[in-house]
Amino acid sequence: MNKDTICAIATSNNSIAGISIIRISGEKSLEIAKKILTKFQSSEIKPRYMYLTDVVLENGTDKCLAVYFKAPYSFTGEDVVEIHLHGGIKLTEMVLKKCIENGARLATRGEFSKQAFLNGKSSLESLEGVIDIINAESEAELSAGYNLANGKLSQELYNMQNKLTDIIAEIDVALDYPEEDIEYTTENQVKKSLQEIYDNITNLIATSKNGKMLKNGINIAIVGKPNVGKSSLLNALLNFDRAIVTDIAGTTRDSIEESFEYKNVKFNVCDTAGIRDAQDKVEIIGIDRAIAQIKSSNIILFVVDLSRELDEEDKKIMEIINSSNVNCILVYNKNDLKQDIKPMQIELNKKVAEIEISAKNAENITKLKDLLYDFTLGKDFDTSSLTITNERHLQALKEANQNILQALNAIGKVSLDCVVLDIKNSWNSLGKITGKTITDEVLDAIFTKFCLGK
């Protein structure tokens, strides 16, 4: 058990609000709370009851609420007291100082969560899920966080670990009765079972592509030559006037990034400087940024102008896009001014769709958003499904599958007892996700990424 009693501001500690909460966890929590709160003195403070009490400070007394959670029925599994104060920055700091003067130590980042993990209150990836919930900026990110926090992934992992344990047991039996036919049947059985787990993990790994986009948002680059309506398109996608729009070519000189949410998913859209042979120093830098943006995006919106004939400038941009290897939607803008001209052929290697729109009149913008969703996450993707969003989990899954693959390749070539080690390693790799088989250093590294007071 943790010897120190720790304390921290659990709410946002650099802004004023209606209330703020200080959390104290550890053996001395109640004792410390009693020292600083006047009407919290009874020897029978009932757990999970909210008490209206006073906190006495050097310069006055303020009302507050306090609640006690008796170990092990608390977030950390230790004795916990939460003090709900008026949400002033100075007031909260002063009460925190009092907690420290009376025997608590300031918690480090993620220390409450670490205690919860060490006391078996929660698995590692569930706690990471809570952090994802806190940090979520879109509903899809929230769903992914809920899935982790509520154990949807750990359930899958435990199932697979149990199957691996069964396989090891089966091998043990075969080794105890080493008649050849038993070994042969077992080999086939083991191969089949391992293959099933391998496929299962492969499917989980495959969800990480979408998981990354859910977590960070889907990066869209709007590119095209000057004046085709890129900034107008940005504004139409956002549904507010973020970028300056004029009929002067070269209006946008720097990249403008903004986000919008569609179908619960966050899209980060970047309007770029129109790409052309520019002389102006600032414009040249802007164009370089536009080119960099193309490469780092998940999908490109290549905007061309239906009111003008396509020309060499469009073609040059087409070549830049083609060299990027990023999926691209060809957006014919200004369809309200559509001219009856024979369009120059645009050959995009990775064109996934094309669409006619009017950015100015917001025509076909929802259709375009659907295309963006369909050609990044996939038409049938359900944002509430189990998706791997965490790089650490992904690496552990890959490691687990590598070990299974090694086992699969070895079966038939070496005796079954040699395969057991690979299977055990795979079990351990899966255990890294839930935290069962993780080293202290890695654990510390994970928790220090959490916020203070969590």
286 contacts ligand GTP (rule: CB under 6 A): no
Task: Restricting to residues 199-228, name those near ligand GTP by CB under 6 A.
Answer: 224, 226-228
26 contacts ligand GTP (rule: CB under 6 A): no
327 contacts Mg ion (rule: CB under 5 A): no
From 245, 270, 301, 400, residue interacting with ligand GTP (rule: CB under 6 A): 245
From 122, 126, 235, 252, residue interacting with Mg ion (rule: CB under 5 A): 252
Phi-psi region of 177 (alpha: psi -120 to 50; beta: other; left: phi over 0): beta
Distance CA 123, CA 113 (A): 10
246 contacts ligand GTP (rule: CB under 6 A): yes
- Cα dist from 167 to 7, 116, 182, 311, 421, whole Å: 46, 32, 14, 64, 12
104 contacts ligand GTP (rule: CB under 6 A): no
Whose tokens are 């899966």? That residue is: 430
358 contacts ligand GTP (rule: CB under 6 A): yes
**DSSP strand E in 306-414: where?**
328-333, 351-356
Query: Closest distance between ligand GTP and the C-beta of residue 246, in Å?
Result: 6
Query: Closest distance between Mg ion and the C-beta of residue 253, in Å?
Result: 9
The angle that helices 29-36 and 89-101 make with each other, rounded to 10 degrees, is 120
Name the one range near ligand GTP by CB under 6 A: 141-149, 243-251, 403-411, 423-431.
243-251
Distance CA 81, CA 232 (A): 53
Give 145 or 229: the residue with its C-beta nearer to ligand GTP. Answer: 229
Distance CA 303, CA 378 (A): 22
Q: How many residues does the chain have?
A: 454
360 contacts ligand GTP (rule: CB under 6 A): yes
Distance between alpha carbon 237 and the CA centroid of its chain, in Å?
23
Whose tokens are 């830049």? That residue is: 320
Mask: binding to ligand GTP, 252-271, rule CB under 6 A, as x and -?
A: x-------------------
From the list Mg ion, ligand GTP, none, which binds 139 (C-beta under 5 to 8 Å, kind-based)?
A: none
Applying CB under 6 A, what is the total number of residues that bind ligand GTP?
23
Give 6 or 303: the residue with its C-beta nearer to ligand GTP. Answer: 303
Give 1 or 249: the residue with its C-beta nearer to ligand GTP. Answer: 249
Give 297 or 426: the residue with its C-beta nearer to ligand GTP. Answer: 297
Residues in CB range of 134: below 8 A, 6 or more apart = 145, 451, 454
Distance between alpha carbon 318 and the CA centroid of its chain, in Å?
33
145 contacts ligand GTP (rule: CB under 6 A): no
230 contacts ligand GTP (rule: CB under 6 A): yes
Query: What is the per-residue burial (b if ≥16 Cβ within 10 Å, else e) of 36-61?
Result: bbeebeeeebeeeeebebebeeeeee
Interface residues toward ligand GTP, by CB under 6 A: 224, 226-232, 245-247, 249-252, 274, 333-334, 336-337, 358-360
